């Protein structure tokens, strides 16, 4: 499989600069890389983005995450491998990613309170930006049919 075109983030020179700045801010937030990757993986699974699923799985393996945890992200509610904090982050990811599926608030107060109990404001900001950026990349990659296994940078 070949992409329809070069990734738009590379076609427009200023795009990667802005994206890079956001990634830098996320990296400086204190949020663990593993939580960021799990959040990115879950959003990518929901959106059917093979390129991003592949990338997040690769990053999780490289970071030492167990195969059991990686394989269970799609069924995190039924899996014993996630902390309460990770479960809260995964629920937030699903709520924010599935905006079109909602018939209520995108993030109910009870969910917000639960996530805020586990993460400070900087970490929570990083989670929200990670979800948003992942959804951005998912939409770009599925539009241009970016194949799984593509590497960037």
Residue 15: inside a domain: no
For residues 101 and 25, the model is more confident at 25
- Please name the residues in contact with 131: beta carbons below 8 A apart, sequence gap of 6 or more: 39, 43, 92, 93, 96, 97
Mean pLDDT of 71-92: 98
Instruction: Please check whether residue 26 lies inside any domain of the structure.
Output: no
What CATH number is attached to the domain comprising 103? 1.20.1290.10
> What's the chain's average pLDDT?
95
pTM of the model: 0.95
Within a domain: 13? no
Mean pLDDT of the 6-33 span: 94
Task: Please report whether residue 46 resides in a domain.
Answer: yes
Distance, in Å, from the CA atom of 127 to the CA atom of 123, rounded to the nearest integer, reads 6
Give pLDDT, residue 103: 78
Half-sphere exposure of 83 (CA within 13 A, CB side): 10
The average pLDDT across 66-91 equals: 98
Residue 39 lies in a domain: yes
Distance CA 16, CA 78 (A): 37
Q: Quote the number of domains for the chain.
A: 1
Q: Is the pLDDT of residue 80 over 90?
A: yes
Q: What is the pLDDT of residue 153?
A: 54
129: tokens are 């930006």
> Which residues constitute the domain of residue 53?
33-144
Helix 121-144 to helix 13-27 angle, to the nearest 10 degrees?
150
Look at residue 149 in the predicted model and tell me its pLDDT: 86
Q: Is residue 101 within 8 Å of residue 47, measured between CB atoms?
A: no
Q: Does residue 126 sit within a domain?
A: yes
Identify which of 105, 79, 101, 102 has the alpha carbon closest to the alpha carbon of residue 90.
Answer: 79
Q: Would residue 149 count as lying in a domain?
A: no
Taking only the tens place, the pLDDT of each residue in 90-143 is: 999 999 999 988 778 899 999 999 999 999 999 999 999 999 999 999 999 999
Q: Is residue 1 in a domain?
A: no
pLDDT > 90 in the chain, percent:
88
- CA distance readout (Å), 8 to 18, 30, 48, 130: 13, 30, 19, 19
pLDDT given at position 152: 61
């Amino acid at each position: 499989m070949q992409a329809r075109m070069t990734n738009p983030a590379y076609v427009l020179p200023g795009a990667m600069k802005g994206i890079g700045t956001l990634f830098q801010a996320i990296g400086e937030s204190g949020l663990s890389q593993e939580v960021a990757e799990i959040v990115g993986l879950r959003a990518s699974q929901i959106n059917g983005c093979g390129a991003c699923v592949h990338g997040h799985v690769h990053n999780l393996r490289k970071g030492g995450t167990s195969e059991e945890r990686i394989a269970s992200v799609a069924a995190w509610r039924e899996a014993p491998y996630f902390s309460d904090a990770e479960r809260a982050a995964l629920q937030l990811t699903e709520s924010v990613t599935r905006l079109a599926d909602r018939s209520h608030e995108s993030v109910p107060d009870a969910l917000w309170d639960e996530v805020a109990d586990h993460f400070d404001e900087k970490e929570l900001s990083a989670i929200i930006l990670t979800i948003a950026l992942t959804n951005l990349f998912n939409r770009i990659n599925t539009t241009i049919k970016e194949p799984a296994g593509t590497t960037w940078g």
